[in-house]
Amino acid sequence: MSLSGLIRALPKAELHLHIEGTLTPERMWSLAQRHGITLPYESVDAITDAYQFSDLQSFLDLYYQGADVLRDEQDFYLLMQDYLASCNAQNIVHAEIMFDPQTHTKRGVGFDVFMPGFLKALEEAKQMWGITSTLIMCFLRDLPESDAFDTLAQAEPWYEHITAVGLDSAEVGNPPEKFTDVFAQARARGFKCVAHAGEEGPPEYIVQALDVLHVNRIDHGVKCELAPALMARLRDKQIALTVCPQSNLKLCVIDDMAQHNILRLLDAGLLVTVNADDPSYFDGDLVANFMALERELGMTAAQLRQLVINGFTGSFLPEAVKARHI
């Protein structure tokens, strides 16, 4: 089988995926019409054309604006359903899906609106396609820690449906240590922890995420290559990095995919995984990310297989279930 055939055929896990980042221009358009919202775009194509970013912040501005069309339970149901249908098409059999409550609660849209919509679509995908999933509730790091505490409290009726807490949004200037206390409380309540670190920010933020937030894995983490001692630690402890190549390219973390360090990190023995991040904004789902590694970096079949295995190893699935996938 060709490598691209193998990329499609292998059952895969996705560990770094923002559900709000799966909102397609078509769905944004239809939801805007449904709610009588006037978008600052003339057409679906104009939405896609606007997705040119110079850094993380320039993306976040459009991403938060786009999420404004998500108003009622049905919107969140359709959003999740679209993503899970794409999982089925890509042979993604397990997804650990991030959501940003504060993006919605600050607009007056509460947990009782988005959670039922998400859970209905997740349950249907489990029944129809056997897709398993976990939810990761992310705190917006550009907001104060007190807002994250409020969010953790508001989520209480839904704890049984949430596996982990995470940290996302504008990284530089908002170091992990800003969220020390809320992560401690989340851990005490039984949540696993993840954090975006070393996407645009320095390797020290990755060290803080490990030492201060006690995260189980690092989202992105590509800047670890600047700190050899940290790289050795990530390798020795087999801490998963959820790397998003196409995201790094679109947000100018790298100038050219040929420069991406993902295969160097993999060959150095780190537990690297491949993920889409925000597929609708970054012009690429999980399969497209793997295809880019084949096309631009000459990924081999052995490297592909290792990356796919790492997706399950780095997941929050129970060990016995992981073993069935590996």
Which value, to the nearest 10 degrees, does the dihedral of the CA atoms of residues 193, 155, 162, 76 take?
A: -120
Q: Does 56 bind ligand ES4 (CB under 6 A)?
A: yes
Angstrom distance (rounded) from CA 138 to CA 167: 5
Q: What is the DSSP string of 133-195?
A: EEEEEEEETTS-HHHHHHHHHHTGGGGGG--EEEEES--TT--GGGGHHHHHHHHHTT-EEEE
Q: Does 75 bind ligand ES4 (CB under 6 A)?
A: no
Looking at residues 237 to 296 of the shown chain, list those that interact with Zn ion (rule: CB under 5 A). Answer: 277
Give me 55's structure tokens.
């850094």
Angstrom distance (rounded) from CA 143 to CA 102: 9
Q: Does 14 bind Zn ion (CB under 5 A)?
A: no
Residue nearer to ligand ES4 on the CB measure, 195 or 304: 195
- Out of 20, 96, 171, 199, the active site residue is 199
Least Å from the CB of residue 282 to ligand ES4: 8
Q: Does 247 bind ligand ES4 (CB under 6 A)?
A: yes
In the numeric block, the tokens 């992310």 are attached to 138
Residue 14 touches which member of Zn ion, ligand ES4, none, C-beta under 5-8 Å by kind: none
Residue 56 touches which member of Zn ion, ligand ES4, none, C-beta under 5-8 Å by kind: ligand ES4
The DSSP secondary-structure symbol of 318 reads -
Least Å from the CB of residue 44 to ligand ES4: 21
260 is in an annotated binding site: no
Sequence-distant (6+) residues with CB within 8 A of 24 are 82, 280
Looking at residues 196 to 215 of the shown chain, list those that interact with ligand ES4 (rule: CB under 6 A). Answer: 196, 199
Q: Does 14 bind ligand ES4 (CB under 6 A)?
A: no
Residue 21 touches which member of Zn ion, ligand ES4, none, C-beta under 5-8 Å by kind: ligand ES4
In degrees, rounded to 5, the angle at the alpha carbon of residue 171 between the alpha carbons of residues 167 and 172 is 150
The contact set with ligand ES4 (CB under 6 A) reads 18, 21, 56, 63, 168-169, 196, 199, 247, 277-278
The residues assigned a catalytic role are 199
The contact set with Zn ion (CB under 5 A) reads 277
